[in-house]
Structure 1
Amino acid sequence: MLFINTRPKARATELSFALQQAGIQVLELPLLELEPCAWSTALQSLYLQLPQASCIVVVSPSAVEFGMAGLQQSGLTLQDLQALQWIAVGEKTAQALAAYGIQSHVPEVETSEGMLQIPLLQNLSSSSCIAFWRGQGGRQFMMENLQQQGVSILNFILYQRRCPTQTMKNFEQVVAQLQQHQSYSVLISSEASWLNWLALMQTHPALFAHGHFMVLGERLFQLLFKAQAQQHLAFHLHLLSDLSTETILQCLRAMPRNA
């Protein structure tokens, strides 16, 4: 089976190498690339309010990178934020924060639902203020859930997602490869990556029937499940609890041998 690694280019290499070592054919096809948002007075204002927040939720290693760059541009330092708690969406994000000397809370399950189970967020008062360092479109479910509890949100949109130009340019070659395989598997780690895949496959709906979609988290799984019915698409769905190499390998090994 052909495995399509859709992770951003900088994060794809380790997974691709491990799967290839396990004898799995891998095609790297990033569905997302990130670019920082332009500096604005709105961002400056958010940073100046940051010392009054209870904690900062950081949704990705990229959010660490762009968030720290913005912090420097705002004129604040980490010393100004020493009273805050930090929450990282997963171990990779926690490692990126640790490079700045920051210890963070990490959920057991690396999804928005998993993050909401962190004791720090379970015990918030309605007067709390939480900052989100995120990309455009990311973690809205988590913010909406907290706002319903009366929590104030500082919403830092630090970067934008888009489908890489090279991916769009080369996709007909990818289609040719898919047509040569009895089946293929695709890693879908976000709603944005799923929407980009749908757009790319718009003129090749028959190829969905050969696809095994490995989806991160229950909410995203349900999104694809609904898409099957609404758009009359036939494909196989597999739920991932996290994006670790071992979890992905286990999922691939559990697929039917003739898939």
Structure 2
Amino acid sequence: MLFVNTRPQDRAAALTAALSQQDITVFELPLLELQALKLSPELYELYRQLPSAQVIVVVSPTAVEVGMQYLQQTGIQLEELSHIQWIAVGIKTAQVLEKYGIQALIPEVETSEGMLQLPCLQKLPQGSRITFWRGEGGRQFMMQQLQAQGMHILNFVLYQRQCPPMCQTLMPLLAKKIQENLAYTVLISSEASWLNWQALWQNQPEIIKKAHYMVLGTRVAKLLQQARQQQQADFQITRLDTLHPTTILAHLRLEKGKA
């Protein structure tokens, strides 16, 4: 069994180790690379408004680290934000926030949809200020939903996401691994990951069409379902509510049992 771990390089290790211990062959192909953006005058002005927010949504460990670095540079103390409710997209992000003494809420389902179900967001009055610490292009859906509910969004774009150049080097190695395995599973954790995966293999569409995809969240799963229909493909899609290794292992064992 071949598993393609597409998580960013700094987040892939735990999953790779857990699967490897169960004799699953893992190939790491990080489809996203995160790079901090400069502290621009526009971003500086957003930081000055931060104490007026009711909620801060932090979408990744990188958003925590870059956000805190710039918080220090703008001279704002965490004590000034003690009245604010922090929300982390998942356990890893919450753990990084804990290093700064912040206890964040975590949704049961680690997606935008899961965060929108949190009672603290549903009970906010219209006009409340909700801050997003995020990457370029991320969490658009969640911000749009909250804006439609009358919330005021402070949009902190802290880093950009790109397909790592190393992917081009790794593609021939992965193609060879795929040829050697009867079945392979690809982890897709975001829309950006899916777009990058398709772009990489646009000249080898059979690799896209023959994969089994494990996909985080309902929205991204729907994107793959639409692509499957448009491409007239029959690839299998398994929706995940979390990227925890035990959850992924359980689904892999289930698929192995069906084979």
TM over 0.5: yes
Report matched runs for 1:113-128 at 5 Å. 113-128=113-128
- In the TM superposition, residue 135 of structure 1 has moved relative to its aligned partner by 0.4
Task: String of CA shifts for 1:48-84, please: whole Å, max 9, x gaps.
Answer: 0000000100011111011101111212121221111
Distance 1:121 1:185 in 2: 35
**Residue 130 (structure 1) aligns with:** 130
- In the TM superposition, residue 145 of structure 1 has moved relative to its aligned partner by 0.4
Task: String of CA shifts for 1:132-180, please: whole Å, max 9, x gaps.
Answer: 0000111111110000011000000000101111112221221122122
- In the TM superposition, residue 47 of structure 1 has moved relative to its aligned partner by 0.2
Does the Cα contact within 8 Å between 1:208 and 1:234 map onto a contact in 2? no
Does the Cα contact within 8 Å between 1:182 and 1:210 map onto a contact in 2? no
Bigger Cα displacement from structure 2, 229-238 vs 53-62: 229-238
**Residue 170 (structure 1) aligns with:** 170
- In the TM superposition, residue 228 of structure 1 has moved relative to its aligned partner by 0.8
**Residue 86 (structure 2) aligns with:** 86
Task: String of CA shifts for 1:201-237, please: whole Å, max 9, x gaps.
Answer: 1011112343100000111100000011123333111
Task: String of CA shifts for 1:74-103, please: whole Å, max 9, x gaps.
Answer: 121212211111011111111110000001
Bigger Cα displacement from structure 2, 185-194 vs 201-210: 201-210
Does the Cα contact within 8 Å between 1:205 and 1:233 map onto a contact in 2? no
What letter corresponds to residue 55 of structure 1 in structure 2?
V
What letter corresponds to residue 87 of structure 1 in structure 2?
I
Bigger Cα displacement from structure 2, 76-85 vs 94-103: 76-85
What letter corresponds to residue 78 of structure 2 in structure 1?
L
Distance 2:23 2:172 in 1: 25
**Residue 203 (structure 1) aligns with:** 203
Give the number of aligned pairs.
259
Q: Structure 2: which 5+ residue stretches go unaligned?
A: none
Distance 2:43 2:237 in 1: 39
Report matched runs for 1:97-246 at 5 Å. 97-246=97-246
Matched, 1:76 2:95: no
Bigger Cα displacement from structure 2, 172-181 vs 212-221: 172-181
Does the Cα contact within 8 Å between 1:4 and 1:28 map onto a contact in 2? yes
What letter corresponds to residue 93 of structure 1 in structure 2?
T
What letter corresponds to residue 246 of structure 1 in structure 2?
T
Tell me the SS of whatever aligns to 2:101: coil
- In the TM superposition, residue 183 of structure 1 has moved relative to its aligned partner by 1.2
**Residue 60 (structure 2) aligns with:** 60
Does the Cα contact within 8 Å between 1:179 and 1:207 map onto a contact in 2? no
Bigger Cα displacement from structure 2, 206-215 vs 130-139: 206-215
**Residue 6 (structure 2) aligns with:** 6
Percent identical pairs in the alignment equals 55
Distance 1:48 1:187 in 2: 39
Distance 1:207 1:171 in 2: 11
What letter corresponds to residue 9 of structure 1 in structure 2?
Q
Q: TM-score, normalised by structure 1?
A: 0.97
Does the Cα contact within 8 Å between 2:97 and 2:104 map onto a contact in 1? yes
Does the Cα contact within 8 Å between 2:90 and 2:110 map onto a contact in 1? yes
